[in-house]
Amino acid sequence: MCMNGHNHIDGMTVRHGVYFMNVNSISNIWLGDQYSCVRYSDEIDREYPYIKKTAPYLNPFYAIVTMPDDRIVIEGTKSEFVGPSPCELGYPEKESELISTAVISDHVLLL
């Protein structure tokens, strides 16, 4: 199994029998200029001008990974977006397996 957290999205794919898990980042999703919106106060927006180009999460989250028997068990956690979600802003999903959401999904994988 390969785990990656760089893309800031939740997803699991299998390629050539190898699980690839994208662990949602605790920071945020970069949306860019086209999908920017003020999510906090105008004062915070002035002090941190790039924050409106992201989709920050209300709370940090994490995953717990255990390996009982011949399985990999992933217990994810959830948060929510501050302000509108990327979907509500019309942000396009890149791949069907990778979703812009404020969650790390649960998984049970067989070895």
pTM of the model: 0.78
Q: What percent of the chain has pLDDT over 70?
A: 93
Weakest mean pLDDT among 25-29, 42-46, 85-89: 25-29
In DSSP terms, which residues pair with 11 in a beta bridge? Answer: 22, 98
Residue 47 has pLDDT above 70, yes or no: yes
Burial, 76: exposed, middle or buried (Cβ in 10 Å; 0-12, 13-18, 19+)?
middle
H/E segment holding residue 99: strand 98-99
Tokens of 76: 């994810």
- Domain coordinates of the chain in residue numbers? 2-28+57-110
Query: Do residues 1 and 19 touch, judged by C-beta distance below 8 A?
Result: yes
Tokens of 49: 């001008």
Tokens of 107: 């998984």
Dihedral pair phi/psi, residue 35, rounded to 5°: -115, 20
User: Residue 67 burial (CB < 10 Å; 0-12/13-18/19+)?
Assistant: exposed
